[in-house]
Chains A and B, each alone.
Chain A
Amino acid sequence: MKRLNTPIREEDINDLKVGDMVYLSGEIYCGRDAVLPMIVSQIDDWKDKLQGSVIFHTAVSVAGVGPTSSNKLEIENSIEPLSKAGVKLHLGKGRLRQDTIEALNDHNSIYAVMAPVTALLNDKTISKEIVGFEELGMEAFHKLKVIDYPIIVAAAHGRSIFDEL
């Protein structure tokens, strides 16, 4: 079992490979269909904050957090520009397209998945705050402080776990 803390460094990514089981800790950003295209459209305003960051594809509500499908059009299309802007880990669920796997590799970024274990994640989430687009409610851009989220690396260095089954 590996451990990964934010902010994520280039060498951290180099040490991770497809199939690695990892505990993730630190500050992570959360967004999905509604907000990620907005972040991309204002990418220059967010670049500094996104260096070495994690984007967790989830809503943040009173019910908690849990991964949504990363292959929804708006979410998957955000992965390339966000990686280019400095995001090192995209966290969600489901298979991604080959061109997305290649885009991740181009920017030394990775994709990880997790089971939708909301009750467990609630116990592992220390704080949460809205950091952008508050009007979107549970779909606003949030920042969480988390400890030991259980994740599995699903795409890294041009390889995808879904293509190797």
Chain B
Amino acid sequence: MNCDMIVEKVKQAVIDAGSTFSPDKTVAYERAIDKETNERAKWVLETILENSKVAEQNKSPLCDDTGIPHIVLEMGPDSIVTGEMLKAIRMGVKEGLKALPGRPMALKGDDKARIDQSGGISDLSEDVLPSPILLRETEENVTRLSILMFGGGPAIRGKTYRVFHKHSTQVVMDEIIQWGKESVSLLGCSPCTLAVGIGRSHFEASALMLEAMVDGNYDVQSDMERTITEEINKACIGPIGLGGETSVLGTFLKVGPQRASGVRIVSMRPCCCFEPRIATIDL
């Protein structure tokens, strides 16, 4: 695939990620609406689903916080990625943000000015730069790119921290469930999807959390994922925190290699009602 084709494909992926629900997410919402008995909660879920249909039809943003692009690149045995291809991927992201359009929220200025926001805000959607690319191997003979758009609310409520497991998986599960209850109740944009990575370092746990979003599927939930979802839903926080049975739509969990030690590093992102906003393409 030449670089022009990569730019165009990545551009469309950014638009799709920002405007389209995956089929399994749509089904998860339909299931939740059928099951929900709280009148207000049902109305909110129906409104979110209606919003997704309008966004997909108009190819317009699901949410005004269009998010920061995060990229996961999977490489198969024969995959070759050049510097020119990486440049084309970045160009495709810019073109996608221009077309969506992404919210112009890149800050201008030096280190200090970018922290205190004193240098002003760029008025160009495409100035929002993607985060560093996460690379992983795959057995499939492909070069596969996933783009995820990360909003600010889940970033405020997310957490990466150590858990002393006391040689019990249940201790770690209980901690995740407790973090989930706290963060979902504060988020304001539920129902959530909890993305969780468990690794040996903060970097690894965060990377696993990102991979969990790429691999996660609402129709295929492990016992651990289902337990986390069910336990948090018992708190009846509900859509946008107004009560009801649907606080969490599903959990996407990835457990990496662990070290012989009393500590696990857990990274958790309480994805908002639209996240993971993701599109995947083969290059």
Q: Give me the interface of A with B, judged by CB distance under 8 Å.
A: 19, 21, 34, 58-59, 61-71, 92-95, 113-120, 122-123, 135-139, 150, 152, 154, 161-162, 165
Contact = CB atoms under 8 A, between A and B. Distances in A.
Interface in B211-241: 236-241
Given A21-B40, A62-B125, A137-B104, A115 B156 contact: no
Interface stretch (B59-67, B132-140, B255-263): B59-67
- Which 10 A-B pairs have CB atoms at the shortest separation, nearest pair first? A93-B188, A119-B55, A94-B188, A117-B51, A66-B64, A63-B103, A119-B54, A118-B64, A62-B101, A64-B64
Q: Which size class do B's interface residues fall under?
A: 35 or more
A34 to B, nearest CB: 8
A59 B152 CA distance: 13
Most chain B CB neighbours (cut-off 10 Å) among A66, A68, A113, A115: A115
Given A116-B189, A119-B62, A152-B40, A63 B47 contact: no
A95 B190 CA distance: 13
Given A59-B103, A116-B272, A138-B104, A66 B65 contact: yes
A59 B187 CA distance: 18
B43 interface: yes
B21 to A, nearest CB: 11
B189 A65 contact: no
A114 B239 CA distance: 10
17 contacts: A59-B103, A61-B104, A63-B103, A66-B64, A69-B156, A69-B188, A93-B189, A93-B240, A94-B188, A95-B241, A115-B48, A116-B64, A119-B51, A120-B47, A122-B54, A136-B121, A161-B243
Nearest to A139: B121
Contact of A63 (B64, B121, B238): B64
Nearest to A58: B64
Given A115-B51, A137-B121, A61 B64 contact: yes
A120 B55 CA distance: 8
A140 B8 CA distance: 34
Contacts of A21: 40, 43
B192 to A, nearest CB: 13
A122 B66 CA distance: 14
A68 B153 CA distance: 8
Interface string B44-75: 10011011101100101111111000000000
Interface string B158-192: 00000000000000000000000000011111000
Contact of B47 (A67, A138, A139, A150): A150
A165 B104 CA distance: 37
B89 interface: no
Most chain A CB neighbours (cut-off 10 Å) among B43, B55, B65, B153: B65
A122 B125 contact: no
B13 interface: no
Contacts of A59: 64, 103
A65 B66 CA distance: 11
Nearest to A122: B60
A129 to B, nearest CB: 17
A17 to B, nearest CB: 13
A163 to B, nearest CB: 11
Nearest to A135: B120
Nearest to A1: B43
B28 interface: no
Contact of B241 (A63, A94, A138): A94
Given A118-B51, A137-B104, A137-B123, A165 B64 contact: no
